Structure 1
Amino acid sequence: MTAGRDIIVGIDAGTSVLKAVAFDLSGQQLAISAVRNAYQSGGDGAVTQSLTRTWDDCATAIRGLHDRIDGLAGRVAALAVTGQGDGTWLVGQGNAPVADAWLWLDARAAPTVRRLAAKPTDRARFEVTGTGLNTCQQGSQLAHMDRVHPELLEGAEAALHCKDWLFLNLTGVRATDPSEASFTFGDFRTRAYSDTAIESLGLQHRRGLLPEIVDGSLTTFPLTEAAADQTGLLAGTPVSLGYVDMVMTALGAGVHTGDAGAACSTVGSTGVHMRAVPSEGVHLNAEGTGYVICLPVPGLVTQVQTNMAATLNVDWALSVAADLIGETGETPTHADLVARINGWMDRSRPGRIIYHPYISEAGERGPFVEADARAGFVGLNAGHRFPDLLRAVVEGLGMAARDCYAAMGDMPTELRLTGGAARSSALRQVLAAALDTPVRVSSREEAGAAGCAMMAAVAIGAYGSMDDCIAEWTTPLLGEPEAPDDDLVRVYDDLFTSYRDARIALRPVWNGMAEARANGSGPDADGTMTAQAEALGESR
C-alpha cells in the first residue's frame, strides 16, 4: 500500500441510484456522490438499461467526490465496485455493448424458467448452485435469449453483470466474481463453474461467454489510463471487483460477526433475507428455492431468500392514501404520509387481516417462485379502515420475512436490519415479533459500498483478514438489540399459519388471473408495467 493513500472508494451501482462513497482505512465514511439511475420498461415485461450510460454515470459519481475531498486522486489507495445482481450485460468486439442490459426486473424469461425448472436435471443443478431458477438470473435470461433472441448472443463475446461491466471499464479486464458465478453457473463449494449447472441450463455451446472468475479480496487490477481520464483518479490505482450487492450490503451491516445464529435482512424496495453458514452447513430446501451466495471469507456462504417487493408495498398503500386525500384538497407528500405510519399502526389491532406483499408485476421469488403471484388482502370486514389496511401491509412484510427464514431452517437468534425500513420503529417491532428475535440496526449509512470497500482493504493489505476488517468496520456500528413483544409474538405465530396456508391456496387463482390477462380479458391485459414495478430496486 502506497504511503499517503488513506482512502478507499466503494462504488455501489444500485437499480435506482449509483453511489461512489469514500471511506478512510478504518471504515469511517467521509463523503458520498450519487447519480440517479435510469432504465426502461416495456409492455412485454422487458426492463433494460443502457450500458454506456451506466458507465458514464459511474464516472460522474466518482468525479463528484473530488468536489467533496481535497486531493482525492493522490489519496485513493483502492477502488472497489459492487452493483445490482442478476441480469445480463452483453459485450462484444472491442468490449462494446451488444444491446441494452436485461435487468433483474426483466420478466421475459418466465416461459423458459418454467421449461428449465421442469427438466429432470434441475434438482442436480440446484444441488450444486444452491439457487432456485427465476426470471432475474443471467442463466435463465441467456437460455431464453438462446431460444428467442439468438442474434444477441451471436454478437456477444462475454456475458457480464452490472458490477462486472463497470470493472471492465475501470480495468479493461473481463471478469466476474465467485458469488454471481457460482449461484448462476457454478458450485458454491468450489466457487468455480459447474458442468452440471451449465448443461442443465442448455448452455454448453455458450460457455465461451462466461468470463474469468476473480476474487476481489485477493486480487486487484490497475485503473487504466482511459478510466483515469474519465474519473480524475490516478492510473494504476488498485481496483477490486466486489461480490454481488446483496452480500456486500449484508457484510457491511453485520451478517457475519462471529455470532452464531445471527442473520441480516435488507428491507428496502425489495426484501433480502440471509444468514451466514459454513458451505457444508447449507440447508437446501425441498422446493428448490432461494440462493446460496459466497462471502469473501474462506468456507463461508450466505443462504438467501429474497422478496421481489418489500417497502414497495407500503409505498403503494401510501400512494392510495395520497390519491384519495388529493381528491378533496392538496395532495400530501410521501414524507407527510410516512410520518403518519406509527399513528396509524397505533390505531389498529395486530393480526386481524392477512396481506400477501406480492405487489411486483414480476411476481414472487422467495421463498417460492411464481411469476403470477399478486398482492391481496384476506379477512376484510365492514369495520376495517385505512389504518387496519396499512398495518396489514406492514405485517405482511414481517410474514414474508418469516416465510423466507423458515425456508432456510431455524429462525435467527438475532436479526441485523438495514435498508430504508430500518428507520421505522413500527416495522422493526413487527419484524422482531414475527421472527421472535431481537433486532439490531447498524449505523452504517452505505453498507453496500462499505462491503466492497472492505474487500479492497483486505486485498491491499490494510487488514490481515476479512474477520479483522469486520471487527473494526462493522461490529462497533451495531446498535443495541430491540427485544420482541411477547404478546405480539403470540399473535403473529397464529397469523403466520393462516398467511402461509392462504398463499399456498391462492396459487391456482393467480395462475387463472394471469391466463385471463394473457387472453386479453383480465385487468392490465395490455401488459403495460405499472409505476410500482418501475420503482423497484432501492436495495438492489
Structure 2
Amino acid sequence: MVPSSSDGAGRDLLVGIDAGTSVIKAVAFDLAGRQIAVASVPNRYTTSADGAAFQSLDRTWADCAQTLRDLGTKVEGLARRTAAVAVTGQGDGTWLVGAGNKPASDAWLWLDARAADTVLRLQGNPASRARFEATGTGLAACSQGAQIAHMAATTPEVLDRSEVALHCKDWLYLNLTGVRATDPSEASFTYGDFRTRRYDDSVIEALGLTARRGLLPEIVDGTELTHALSPEAAAATGLLAGTPVCLGFVDIVLTALGAGIHTAGSAGATCSIIGSTGMHMRAVHNADVYLSAEGTGYVIALPIPGMSAQVQSNMAATLNVDWILNLACDLLAEFGTKLSQSDRVQRIDGWLQSGRPGAHLYHPYISDAGERGPFVNANARANFTGLTSESRFPDLLLAVVEGLGMAARDCYAAMGGAMPAELRLTGGATRSRALRAVLGAVVGAPVRTSTREEAGAAGAAMMAAVALGVYPDMQACIADWVTPLLGPVETPDPHRVQTYSQAFPVYQEARRALEPVWDAMARQARQMEGRAHPEALSADTKVERRAVR
C-alpha cells in the first residue's frame, strides 16, 4: 500500500528513538519506512565492586535530547516535517522518579547484580511458580521486580522518596510528554500476565511488593494512544510542541519486529539478535506459549494483538568474540604488531573458514554476571573443551563462534516445539557471512538477514505509524517496512549441520557437568579475595562505561 501523510501537509517523517545500553539513537524515516538519517550519542553508565551498574537519569535525558537536536541538523525542516516521535529503550532495570518528576536515585540497569540474593529468596517462595506462569518470565537480578524487592529490604528510604518506578524508555517518555506511563510489554513480563497485558495482583504479592503497588505507572499501548510533546521538551529537542509521541514496547521485541520476527507466511521463523548479548525469539500466539519447567526466559508482548515473543537470552554473545580477538591482539602487540579494528573485521571470515569445524567445544559464558538463558547461574564461566597440541588460533576462534550457535540452539530447544525453520539474524556481528554460515549450521536452519540498519528505532516508528493511522494495522505496516528488506535465504552446509547436530548433546552434557565446578570456583574466589583484600568487601570502586559501537 502507499501510506498517506498522517495529519497535515508536510508531515512526512517519523522519528524513532532507541536508547540502548551502548548508544542512544534518533532515526528519521519516511512514512513508507525508508531510513533518512540517524544521530547517536554513546550511552554512559557506572559499575562498582558490589555488582552495581547504574546511570544518571538526567544525563540520559540530556543525551536523548542531544540526539534529536543533532538529527535536526541532518534533516532539513525536521521539526515541521515530523508526524510523530516514538521511543523505545533497554529493558528491565529500575528508574525511580520522585516529586516534581525529578530522579529519586540513579537508575539500576539490567546489568546490575545487586539483587541476586533477593532473587534466590523470592524463588523459594511457594508462589514463585504461579508468578512465572502469569508473566512467562523467569526472575533474575536484572528484573525491576527483584530490584525493587531488594531495595525494599536494604534501602527502603529510596523507595519512600519515589513516586513512580519506570523503565528507560518510560523515563524518556515522561520527559517528552510529562506523562508517567509504561507499556504493555514491560508491565506484563515484570508485574502482570502476558495474556491480559495488565498488572496481576498475585504477581505483585509473590514479589512481596503489595505495599509498593502505588509505584507502578499507568499502562499505555502506543499503537492506540499518543501524548503531545510538551513545550519544555520542544525547547530541549528542537521539535514542535504538540507533536504526537508514541511510547514503544521494549527494544528487544521492537528490534525483532523491525528485523522480521513476524511476516506473512513466516511460520517457523525465529529471530536472533547477535550483539553484546544474544537474544533468541520466536513469535507465537499467546495460546501456544511454552512455559519451561526450569522457569527461565521471557514472554514479551508484541505490538500485535494476541501475539508475544517467546525469548531466551544469553548474557554474552559477541563479547566472547571481542575477548578472543583482544587476546590475540595483545599477544601481537608484545611483538610490535598492531591490528586495527578494521583489520580484525577483515580477517575474521578467513580465520573462520580455515578453522576445523567441531574440533573443540566452547561455552560462551564470558560475562562476569554468568548466564541467564536457558539456565540461570551467576557463577557460569566460559571454557574450552578438547584442546590438543594441534589446536591453533583459527580453530579457537571458530569454536567461539560455534559456541554462540550452540548457546542459541540451547535457547531455542528450551522453548519447546520444533527447532527454527528459518533463522532471521540481526546485530552488528551478522555482517560476517562466515559467521552467519556457522550460526545457521549449528542451529540447523537457513539464515536470512535484514538490510534494515536501525531495527529497534524502526520498530518504534512502526508503532507510531499504526497509531496515526498511516497503516490500518501492524500487519500492513510489516508488509511495507519489513518484508521487502529481508535478504536472500542462505542455506547451511549439510555436512556441518550433521557435525554440529552430533556435537550439541555433548555441549549440553558438558554444560550441566560444569555447574558444580563453576560454583566451587566462585566460592574459592570469594575466600581468596577476602583473605587478600578484606577491605575490598566494602570498597566502592567505580568505573564509568562509555560504550561505543
Q: Shorter-chain TM-score: which interval? A: over 0.9
What residue is the counterpart of 1:202 in the other structure?
Answer: 208
Deviation track 1:336-381 (CA, whole Å, cap 9, x = no partner) reads 1222112212222111111111111111111111111111111111
Paired residues in the alignment total: 538
Instruction: Please tell me whether the aligned partners of residues 352 and 435 of structure 2 are also in contact (alpha carbons under 8 angstroms).
Output: no
Q: Which of 468, 471, 474 pairs up with 1:463?
A: 471
Q: Which of 23, 33, 43 pairs up with 2:39?
A: 33
> What SS does the aligned partner of 2:84 have?
strand
Instruction: Please tell me whether the aligned partners of residues 166 and 181 of structure 2 are also in contact (alpha carbons under 8 angstroms).
Output: yes
Please, which moves more after superposition, 207-216 or 422-431? 422-431
2 CA distance for matches of 1:486 and 1:532? Answer: 46
What residue is the counterpart of 2:434 in the other structure?
Answer: 426
Q: Which of 186, 206, 225 pairs up with 1:180?
A: 186
Q: CA deviation at 1:62?
A: 0.3
RMSD: 1.9
2 CA distance for matches of 1:356 and 1:487? Answer: 22
Please, which moves more after superposition, 137-146 or 335-344? 335-344
What residue is the counterpart of 1:105 in the other structure?
Answer: 111
Q: Which of 471, 485, 508 pairs up with 1:477?
A: 485
What residue is the counterpart of 1:300 in the other structure?
Answer: 307
Is 2:412 the counterpart of 1:397? no
2 CA distance for matches of 1:229 and 1:461? Answer: 27
What residue is the counterpart of 2:384 in the other structure?
Answer: 377
Is 2:500 the counterpart of 1:492? yes
1 CA distance for matches of 2:144 and 2:467? Answer: 28
Is 2:65 the counterpart of 1:59? yes
Is 2:364 the counterpart of 1:357? yes
| 1:2 partner amino acid | D
2 CA distance for matches of 1:236 and 1:531? Answer: 41
Q: Unpaired segments of 5 or more residues in structure 2?
A: 1-5
Alignment of 1:223-372 (within 5 A): 223-258=229-264, 259-372=266-379
> What SS does the aligned partner of 1:22 have?
strand
2 CA distance for matches of 1:32 and 1:107? Answer: 33
Alignment of 1:3-22 (within 5 A): 3=8, 4-22=10-28
| 2:369 partner amino acid | A
Q: CA deviation at 1:520?
A: 2.9
What residue is the counterpart of 2:7 in the other structure?
Answer: 2
Instruction: Please tell me whether the aligned partners of residues 14 and 537 of structure 1 are also in contact (alpha carbons under 8 angstroms).
Output: no
Please, which moves more after superposition, 444-453 or 136-145? 136-145
2 CA distance for matches of 1:529 and 1:374? Answer: 24
> What SS does the aligned partner of 1:395 have?
helix
What residue is the counterpart of 2:420 in the other structure?
Answer: 412
2 CA distance for matches of 1:118 and 1:459? Answer: 42
2 CA distance for matches of 1:536 and 1:22? Answer: 23
Instruction: Please tell me whether the aligned partners of residues 283 and 309 of structure 2 are also in contact (alpha carbons under 8 angstroms).
Output: yes
What residue is the counterpart of 2:83 in the other structure?
Answer: 77
Instruction: Please tell me whether the aligned partners of residues 44 and 545 of structure 2 are also in contact (alpha carbons under 8 angstroms).
Output: no
Is 2:174 the counterpart of 1:162? no
Instruction: Please tell me whether the aligned partners of residues 270 and 537 of structure 1 are also in contact (alpha carbons under 8 angstroms).
Output: no
Q: Which of 523, 526, 534 pairs up with 1:515?
A: 523
Deviation track 1:296-324 (CA, whole Å, cap 9, x = no partner) reads 00000000001010001000000000100
What residue is the counterpart of 1:437 in the other structure?
Answer: 445
Q: Which of 111, 116, 135 pairs up with 1:129?
A: 135
What residue is the counterpart of 2:56 in the other structure?
Answer: 50
2 CA distance for matches of 1:289 and 1:356? Answer: 19
> What SS does the aligned partner of 2:18 have?
strand
Is 2:393 the counterpart of 1:386? yes
What residue is the counterpart of 2:3 in the other structure?
Answer: none
With normalisation by structure 2, the TM-score equals 0.95
Instruction: Please tell me whether the aligned partners of residues 253 and 447 of structure 1 are also in contact (alpha carbons under 8 angstroms).
Output: yes
| 1:326 partner amino acid | A
1:234/1:407 CA distance change after superposition, 3 Å: same
Percent identical pairs in the alignment equals: 63
2 CA distance for matches of 1:99 and 1:453? Answer: 30
Q: Unpaired segments of 5 or more residues in structure 1?
A: none
Q: CA deviation at 1:522?
A: 9.0
> What SS does the aligned partner of 1:319 have?
helix
